Amino acid sequence: MRCEKIEFERLLNTRDLGSLVTADGRRIKKNRLIRSGQLINSSEKDKKKLEQLVGTVIDFRTDKERREQPNPELSGVKELHIPVLGSLTAGITREKESDKEAFIRSAGDPKVALEQMISIYRSFPTMPSAAAAYKAFLQILLENEDKAVLWHCTAGKDRSGFASVMIEHILGVSDEDIFEDYLYTNECIKEDVKQLLGQFVSSGSAVSKEAVILLFTAQEQFLAAAFDEIDKQFGSFDGYLENVLGADSEMRRRLKDKYLEDA
C-alpha cells in the first residue's frame, strides 16, 4: 500500500498519507499529512489548491536551495524552514554546486554512487542537523490544529522520504507498506530523473546512466541501510525515536490519537 498521489498541474510528487492503513486496522486521516517535492513549479491553479488544503509548509532544504528555488507565496499558509542537512550533499540537495559535485565525484561510477547514497542514509539517524530537524518536525505535527501539514525537500525522495517513514512508523504502518510507499517516489519523479539524465548527457560529460539513477532515485537498499543503522545504534526504530528525537510512547500515542481514525 502506498500514499495517494494528489493531482496537481505541475507538482508531480505530492502525496496524501491518508490512504495508508495501520497494523491495528485503523487508517491515517485524509488531508492532514502531505509529503511533496519542491513547490516552485506550482501553477496558479496548484497554488490555489495548496492554499485550500495546507495550513503549514515545512521546508527541509538548505538555505542555498531555498534562495535558488524559492517556494511560491501561499496566502494563509505558514512556512517553516527546518534544514535537515547543513551542507551540500550530492545526490540529495540540488544546489548548482551540488549537482556539479555529484557529477564530478559520483555520476561516472555506479559503485561510488551506491556507496555514497548508502552512507548518507546510514547517517540520517545520527546526523545532528537531521536529528534537530526531525525532532522539530514531529513536534509541529503534534501541535498542528490547522488543515494539513505539508513537508518537502527538492525531489521529495530522501529528506522528505525519511520524515514520511518516521511518521508512518509511529502511526503503525507496516514496514512492507513503508517500503512500498518510499519506492513509489520513483514512479512520481521519473520525468524529473529523465530530464536530469538528459542534462548530464547533453553537457558532453562522461556519465554512467546507472550512477545517475542511483543518485537521483529511491532505492530499497538505501532505506534498508537506514533501518539497519537504527537497529545497530538504538536497538529498534522506537528506540531511535525516543532516544534521539524525544518521541516517547506518550508522544507517539498522542500522534496516533490526532491522525488516525477507524477504517
In 3D space, the residue among 185, 182, 207 whose CA is nearest the CA of residue 102 turns out to be: 207
Cα–Cα distance, 43 to 25 (Å, whole number): 37
Amino acid 90: pLDDT: 46
How does strand 15-16 pair with strand 4-5?
antiparallel
> In the predicted model, what is the mean pLDDT of residues 80-107?
65
**121 contacts 89 by C-beta, under 8 angstroms:** no
Q: Which CATH number fits domain 4-88+95-262: 3.30.70.20, 3.30.505.50, 3.40.50.720, 3.90.190.10?
A: 3.90.190.10
Q: Average of pLDDT values for 77-98?
A: 71
pLDDT reported for residue 95:
47
Domain ranges, ordered by start, for the chain: 4-88+95-262
pLDDT band at 86 (very low <50, low <70, confident <90, very high): confident
Residue 144 corresponds to which cell in the numbers above?
498542528
Q: Cα(40)–Cα(47) distance, rounded to whole angstroms?
A: 10
Query: pLDDT-based confidence at 91, cuts 50/70/90?
Result: very low
Count CB-CB contacts under 10 A for residue 25: 9
Which tops the pLDDT comparison, 230 or 1? 230
**Least confident span in 115-129, 154-168, 174-188, 206-220:** 206-220
